[in-house]
Structure formats: structure tokens, C-alpha cells
């Protein structure tokens, strides 16, 4: 578990260094590190938290609930901020909105999901008029099995969230992208695509680019993503080591 603290320090150092290599227009924001703890133990989360980590990402609703309601986590991790980064089925929405310290849902991929979140949030929020942070996930690699909205639907989905979903706060765009891209071939096309989508949104909707975050980059490519302007990297293995198999849990 001491290893987690060492890994975290190394990842944070690399993030800070990568941030110095950004173009100046991207240097308005210190990138946020989300420690992706899916399939990792409660002990691992506690170690990372003790080492100063606050933002954690989870992919599976049931697992997130179990961890978020774990008595040790509730007691020792009062400032934890949960990011949901997996597929969200509409029938699980009431469960997820009940998670204490839910910070954001990064994977809103269609109007209907946005509507259900928007309509349900008032029953769960702890303070009047607080909004639920969301990002819109884009399937930049256009792979059939990947989630996220199509590139051509991004503008209309973001517009819908901003104009019609007053209980949601649109925070930015998220992509997973294709695995195994070799950056020797140039900037990752998925990241470039996400950046272009942001440009389009800010032009067409008149939003300052600085108010549209980019969630991109994982263990294998977070430094590259940050150099291109990522504001939110989701890093699992590089912090916690290899993930246990799902069926062992
Ligand atoms: C698992 C996962 C990550 C982290 O992957 P690592 O390669 O372990 O860093 C990031 N984002 C999403 C959406 C994931 O499912």
C-alpha cells in the first residue's frame, strides 16, 4: 500500500511536468487527477486518500455505491469526490444519485439520459438549487462497442443540456478513445477530435473555452493528453497497479 503513495507522487510529478509543455492558451488550469479505483479494494482507496488524493473514478454503479457507503470510507474520506465514468443505464439513476459525495457524471451520452438525470436530481440534492455536474461523452473513435454520442450529435446534446436541463451543470467533454494508439505517429486523433468538438461548441454556443473541460488521458497516455490540453485525466493502473479480475470481487 506504500507503493500507492509512491505511484501517486510520480504520476502527479509527471502531470505537473506535462502541464508545462502545453501551449500557452491551455495553461489556465491545473489538470485534475482522477484516481480510477474500479475493481480495487477499499484499502487501496484509503491509502490513496491518505496520500492526498481526493478525486476518484468508478465504472460500475453497484461497486461505486458499495464503496461510497463503506463505513471506513465515510468516516475517513470526508472530502472524497466521486466521478462516475462508466455506462449509465437509466434504471440505475436513482441509485447513483444517492451516492454521498458524487462529484460528477462524466458519461452523459444522449438527451434521454440527460433528461432523467435532470428530472431526478431535485429529489436527491442536499442543498436547494445545487446542480449536478455532468460531462458529455463523445465516441471520438466511432467504434461500435464504445459508448458516447456521435460526433455529429455533440452540439445538439450540449445545447439540450444547457438550455433544457437546468438542474445539470455542463462541465465539459469526455472521451475514452481507441486503445493502443502510438504517439510516435503524432497527436492522438481522439484527443484532437475532442479539442475540435470543444472549439465548435464554444464558437456556436458562445461559451468561453475555459468553461468546457476536456476529460481525456489514462495510464498509458495521460502526459500526452495533458500536453494537448486535457483538464481531467483518469488514471488507474499507474496508481493502483494491475486490476483484479471482475469476477473475484
Ligand atoms: C478503467 C478506466 C480508466 C483507467 O484506465 P487505466 O488504463 O487503468 O489508467 C480511465 N477511464 C475509463 C473510462 C476507464 O474505464
Atom of ligand 1 nearest to the CA of 59: 15
Burial class (CB in 10 A: 0-12, 13-18, 19+), 248: exposed
Query: Sign of dihedral through CA atoms 140, 195, 180, 35?
Result: negative
Residue with cell 504520476: 11
Name the pLDDT band for 128 (thresholds 50, 70, 90).
confident
* pLDDT of amino acid 245: 80
Evaluate if residue 98 carries a pLDDT over 90.
yes
d(CA 6, CA 62): 29
Atom of ligand 1 nearest to the CA of 34: 10
Pocket of ligand 1 (CB under 6 A): 36, 38, 59, 85, 176, 218-219, 234-238
Name the pLDDT band for 247 (thresholds 50, 70, 90).
low
Name the pLDDT band for 25 (thresholds 50, 70, 90).
confident
Atom of ligand 1 nearest to the CA of 235: 9
Ligand 1, from 177, 221, 236: best to mutate by most atoms within 8 Å of Cβ? 236
CB distance 43 to 72 below 8 Å? no
d(CA 159, CA 157): 5
- For the chain, list the domains and their CATH numbers: 2-18+29-240 (3.20.20.10)
CB distance 229 to 26 below 8 Å? yes
Name the pLDDT band for 244 (thresholds 50, 70, 90).
confident
Name the pLDDT band for 161 (thresholds 50, 70, 90).
very high
Across residues 160-172, what is the average pLDDT? Answer: 98
Evaluate if residue 249 carries a pLDDT over 70.
no
207 by DSSP, 3-state: which? coil
Atom of ligand 1 nearest to the CA of 237: 8
Atom of ligand 1 nearest to the CA of 174: 13
Cell of 125: 440534492
d(CA 95, CA 123): 12
The rounded Cα 3 to chain-centroid distance in angstroms is 24
Query: Rg of the chain over CA atoms, in angstroms?
Result: 17
Tell me the pLDDT of the chain averaged across its residues.
95
Ligand 1, from 59, 230, 233, 244: best to mutate by most atoms within 8 Å of Cβ? 59
How many Å lie between the centroid of ligand 1 and the Cα of residue 59? 9
DSSP category for residue 78: T
Cell of 132: 449536478
Share of the chain above pLDDT 70, in %: 99
* pLDDT of amino acid 145: 87
Ligand 1, from 234, 240, 242, 243: best to mutate by most atoms within 8 Å of Cβ? 234
Amino acid at each position: 500500500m506504500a507503493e500507492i503513495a509512491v505511484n501517486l507522487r510520480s504520476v502527479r510529478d509527471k502531470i505537473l511536468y506535462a502541464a508545462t509543455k502545453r501551449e500557452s492558451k491551455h495553461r489556465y488550469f491545473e489538470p485534475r487527477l482522477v484516481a480510477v479505483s474500479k475493481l480495487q479494494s477499499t484499502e487501496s482507496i484509503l491509502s490513496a486518500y491518505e496520500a492526498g488524493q481526493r478525486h476518484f473514478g468508478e465504472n460500475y454503479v453497484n461497486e461505486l455505491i458499495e464503496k461510497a457507503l463503506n463505513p471506513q470510507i465515510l468516516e475517513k474520506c470526508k472530502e472524497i469526490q466521486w466521478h462516475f465514468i462508466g455506462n449509465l443505464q437509466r434504471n440505475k439513476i436513482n441509485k447513483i444519485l444517492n451516492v454521498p459525495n458524487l462529484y460528477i457524471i462524466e458519461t452523459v451520452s444522449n438527451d434521454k439520459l440527460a433528461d432523467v438525470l435532470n428530472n431526478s436530481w431535485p429529489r436527491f440534492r442536499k442543498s436547494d438549487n445545487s446542480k449536478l455536474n455532468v460531462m458529455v461523452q463523445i465516441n471520438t473513435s466511432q467504434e461500435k462497442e464504445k459508448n458516447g454520442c456521435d460526433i455529429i450529435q455533440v452540439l445538439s446534446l450540449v445545447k439540450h443540456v444547457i438550455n433544457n436541463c437546468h438542474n445539470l451543470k455542463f462541465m465539459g467533454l469526455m472521451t475514452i478513445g481507441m486503445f493502443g494508439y502510438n504517439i510516435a505517429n503524432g497527436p492522438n486523433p481522439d484527443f484532437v477530435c475532442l479539442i475540435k468538438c470543444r472549439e465548435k461548441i464554444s464558437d456556436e454556443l458562445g461559451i468561453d473555452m475555459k468553461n468546457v473541460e476536456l476529460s481525456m488521458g489514462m495510464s498509458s497516455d495521460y502526459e500526452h493528453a495533458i500536453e494537448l490540453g486535457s483538464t481531467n485525466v483518469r488514471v488507474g493502473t499507474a496508481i493502483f497497479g494491475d486490476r483484479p479480475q471482475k469476477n473475484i470481487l
